[in-house]
């Protein structure tokens, strides 16, 4: 099989149920989700490099699952004529992220102020993933205003950005690196532990 097909040489691409322009909002949206997935791959590589055996096994397993789920998000957004019966992203995936966030958040110290992205290379990449997910989420919101979509994708991306924030903090914590508080931040988080 050849990788190139030449069918997109005129600026159109195939989606499920038809063809659209390559600058169609739908393509931009799931292309941005794909961009995030590539950064997730980079974050996995950084975690493997940084961690001693077992330090990040739970996070690595979650990241692999998330990579598959990001593909599911893109797939659900690729339908020209959406059908709920064909959707892959579900409420259970959102609930799973929430459980994981709660578990990892319980392991990290409380914060009350905004923090700066950074710390270890892997934690920094988690913040990159978080911001690309947020951009994806904004695009999904815009797409949702003009066409029918699986709203669980929107909920999933909203929760996923919180997951990456929490895991960035977790990675720094396990590595013994403190988060850096934004110096002009008011108290924005409430203590929950």
3-state secondary structure of 112: coil
- Tokens 């059908």 found at: 83
Q: Which domains, ranges and CATH numbers included, belong to the chain?
A: 20-175 (1.20.1200.10)
**Cα–Cα distance between 15 and 19 in angstroms, integer?**
6
pLDDT of residue 191: 63
Per-residue model confidence as pLDDT tens digits over 141-174: 999 999 989 999 999 999 999 999 999 999 999 9
Look up the pTM and report it: 0.90
Q: How far apart are CA 77 and CA 56, in angstroms?
A: 31
Q: What percent of the chain has a predicted confidence (pLDDT) above 90? A: 69
pLDDT of residue 186: 87
Which residues, other chains included, contact 32 with Cβ-Cβ below 8 Å and sequence gap of 6+?
Answer: 132, 135, 136, 139
Strands (E), the chain: 12-15, 18-21
**Closest to 25 measured CA to CA, from 122, 110, 147, 127:** 147
Q: What is the pLDDT of residue 50?
A: 86
HSE at residue 76, side-chain half, CA atoms within 13 A, is 25
Per-residue pLDDT, 24: 80
> What letter does residue 12 receive in the DSSP assignment?
E
Q: Decide: helix, strand or coil at residue 4.
A: coil
61-106 pLDDT per residue, tens: 999 999 999 999 999 998 877 776 689 999 999 999 999 999 999 9
């Amino acid at each position: 099989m050849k990788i190139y097909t030449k069918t997109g040489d005129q600026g159109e691409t195939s989606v499920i149920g038809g063809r659209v322009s390559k600058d169609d909002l739908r393509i931009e949206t799931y292309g941005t989700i794909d961009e995030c997935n590539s950064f997730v791959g980079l974050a996995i590589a950084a975690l493997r490099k940084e961690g001693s055996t077992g330090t990040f096994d739970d996070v690595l397993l979650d990241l692999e699952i998330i990579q598959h789920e990001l593909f599911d998000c893109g797939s659900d957004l690729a339908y020209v004529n959406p059908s709920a019966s064909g959707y892959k992203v579900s409420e259970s995936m959102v609930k799973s992220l929430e459980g994981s966030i709660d578990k990892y958040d319980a392991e990290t110290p409380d914060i009350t102020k905004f923090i700066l992205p950074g710390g270890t290379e892997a934690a920094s990449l988690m913040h990159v993933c978080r911001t690309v997910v947020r951009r994806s989420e904004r695009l999904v919101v815009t797409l949702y205003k003009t066409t029918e979509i699986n709203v669980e994708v929107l909920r999933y991306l909203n929760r996923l950005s919180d997951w990456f924030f929490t895991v960035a903090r977790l990675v720094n914590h396990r590595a013994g690196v403190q988060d850096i508080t934004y110096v002009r931040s008011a108290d924005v988080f409430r203590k929950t532990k």
